[in-house]
C-alpha cells in the first residue's frame, strides 16, 4: 500500500482511505453491522490505514461501528471524525461549534470509537455563529491535553482556513473533489499548497455516478439522499453520462474501470491528496484499492482534462439549503 503525508504534518496514511458514512446513513437503509465490521477489517488487511466517520453519521451509530471494527488494530490505523453538527429534538441538523459543545462531542466520540485520542478532528461545517478562532483555539487546547492529534476543517472557504491556521495549524481539509466537482482547483488547492495542508476529497466517485453503474433509469431507495440531489435527476444523469463515457474510453485502454480512472486522476493531481471513497461492498473495496496500480501518463491526464473541459455538468451538487452550509 502506498503511503501519503497530509501536507507538512507528520500524519502519514494510506494513499486511499475508507469513508464509512454510507454504512449507516444517506445511501439507503443502514447496512448489516457484522458485514460492515468484516468489510472494515478487510480494508485494514488490504493496507488501508485511514478511516473517516463523524458523530452525525447515524447519528452516533457509525462511530460505534468504526470503533468496534477497528478495536483490534489500535496503533496501526488513523481515525478521522467530526464535530459541529447536532440533531435537535425535532430531528433537524443544527450547527453548534461552541467550545463547550466541542468538548462534549469529543468525550462522546472517544467513548464510541474506543480510543484515547482522535487522530484527525474536523469541524464538520463552518458555524457562522462561532468565530473560527474560537473553534481553532478549543481544538488547540484539546491537542495540548493529548485528546486530539490533528485539526481539520470540512468544506471551509479559504479565508476561514487562513484564520484557523493562524491559531492552530490545520493538517487537512476535507472537501468534495472529483472530475465532476472541480471548484477546489480555483482557490482551495493553491491555498493548501501554500500553507502545507493536505486535502481529503470525499465523494471522489461523485456519490457513485463515476463508477458507471448509475444512469437515468436508476431507481434509488426512498431513504437515499440522492433522491433530493439536483445532479441525480434523470435529466441530469443523462446529460452527465458524457463524463462516464470519457472515463470508460481511458479505462478500456488501461484494462481498468471508470471508477479506477476517476480515483487515479485524483491521486495524480497532488501528492498530498488522499481520497476516501465509501462502499458497503467488498468487490468495490478491492476495485477502489486497485486504482493505486493504474498509471496515468501525462498524455492520459491531458486527454482527460481536454475531454472533461468540453462537458458542462448539469445539476447542482446539493439542494440549495445544504449548499448554503458550505464555505465554498
Q: What is the mean pLDDT of residues 199-211?
A: 97
Closest CA to 280 of 39, 34, 26: 39
Q: What is the pLDDT of residue 326?
A: 60
Q: What is the pLDDT of residue 100?
A: 98
pLDDT band at residue 103, thresholds of 50, 70 and 90? very high
- What torsion do the CA atoms of 23, 25, 31, 37 make, to the nearest 10 degrees? 30
Q: What is the mean pLDDT of residues 51-70?
A: 97
**Cell numbers 482534462 correspond to what residue?**
305
Q: Decide if 255 contacts 294 (C-beta within 8 A).
A: no
- Tell me, what DSSP letter sits at residue 251? H
Catalytic residue among 57, 121, 122, 177: 57
Closest CA to 74 of 38, 115, 42: 115
> For residue 262, is pLDDT > 80?
yes
Beta bridge partners of 83: 123
Q: What is the pLDDT of residue 200?
A: 98
**Which run of H or of E encompasses 86?**
strand 85-87
Q: What is the mean pLDDT of residues 238-248?
A: 97
Q: Decide if 259 contacts 212 (C-beta within 8 A).
A: yes
Q: What is the pLDDT of residue 291?
A: 98
Look at the chain and count its residues. 328
**Which run of H or of E encompasses 154?**
strand 151-154
234 Cβ neighbours under 8 A, 6+ residues apart: 216, 217
pLDDT band at residue 271, thresholds of 50, 70 and 90? very high
For this structure, is 57 an active site residue? yes
**pLDDT above 70: percentage of residues in the chain:** 98
Residues 61-77 have pLDDT tens digits of: 999 999 999 999 999 99
As to burial, measured by CB atoms within 10 angstroms (0-12 exposed, 13-18 middle, 19+ buried), residue 36 is: buried
Mean pLDDT of the chain: 96
**Residue-by-residue DSSP string for 271-283:** TTB----B-S-HH
CATH match of 3-207+269-294 with 3.50.50.60: no
pTM value is 0.96
Q: What is the pLDDT of residue 90?
A: 87
Which three cell numbers, joined as nine digits, stand for 213? 453503474
Q: What is the pLDDT of residue 325?
A: 63
> For residue 323, is pLDDT > 80?
no
Ramachandran class of 84: left when φ > 0, alpha when ψ lies in -120 to 50, beta otherwise? left
Amino acid at each position: 500500500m502506498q503511503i501519503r503525508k497530509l501536507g507538512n504534518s507528520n500524519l502519514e496514511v494510506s494513499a486511499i482511505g475508507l469513508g464509512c458514512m454510507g454504512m449507516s446513513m444517506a445511501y439507503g437503509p443502514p447496512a448489516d453491522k457484522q458485514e460492515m465490521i468484516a468489510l472494515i477489517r478487510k480494508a485494514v488487511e488490504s493496507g488501508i490505514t485511514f478511516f473517516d466517520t463523524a458523530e452525525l453519521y447515524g447519528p452516533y451509530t457509525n462511530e460505534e461501528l468504526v470503533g468496534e471494527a477497528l478495536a483490534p488494530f489500535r496503533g496501526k490505523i488513523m481515525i478521522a471524525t467530526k464535530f459541529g453538527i447536532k440533531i435537535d429534538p425535532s430531528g433537524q441538523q443544527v450547527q453548534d461549534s461552541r467550545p463547550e459543545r466541542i468538548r462534549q462531542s469529543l468525550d462522546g466520540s472517544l467513548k464510541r470509537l474506543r480510543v484515547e485520542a482522535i487522530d484527525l478532528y474536523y469541524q464538520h461545517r463552518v458555524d457562522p455563529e462561532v468565530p473560527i478562532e474560537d473553534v481553532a483555539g478549543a481544538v488547540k487546547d484539546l491537542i495540548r491535553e493529548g485528546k486530539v492529534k490533528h485539526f481539520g476543517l470540512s468544506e471551509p472557504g479559504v479565508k476561514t482556513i487562513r484564520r484557523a491556521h493562524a491559531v492552530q495549524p490545520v493538517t487537512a481539509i476535507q472537501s468534495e473533489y472529483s472530475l465532476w466537482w472541480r471548484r477546489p482547483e480555483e482557490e482551495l488547492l493553491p491555498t493548501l499548497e501554500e500553507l502545507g495542508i493536505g486535502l481529503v476529497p470525499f465523494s471522489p466517485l461523485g456519490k457513485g455516478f463515476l463508477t458507471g453503474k448509475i444512469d437515468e433509469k436508476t431507481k434509488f431507495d426512498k431513504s437515499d439522499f440522492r433522491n433530493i440531489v439536483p445532479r441525480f435527476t434523470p435529466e441530469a444523469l443523462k446529460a452527465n453520462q458524457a463524463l462516464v463515457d470519457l472515463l470508460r474510453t481511458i479505462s478500456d485502454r488501461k484494462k481498468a474501470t471508470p471508477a479506477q480512472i476517476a480515483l487515479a486522476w485524483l491521486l495524480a493531481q497532488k501528492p498530498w491528496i488522499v481520497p476516501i471513497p465509501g462502499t458497503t461492498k467488498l468487490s468495490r473495496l478491492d476495485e477502489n484499492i486497485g486504482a493505486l496500480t493504474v498509471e496515468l501518463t501525462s498524455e492520459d491526464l491531458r486527454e482527460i482534462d481536454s475531454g472533461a473541459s468540453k462537458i458542462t455538468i448539469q445539476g447542482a451538487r446539493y439542494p440549495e439549503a445544504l449548499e448554503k452550509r458550505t464555505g465554498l
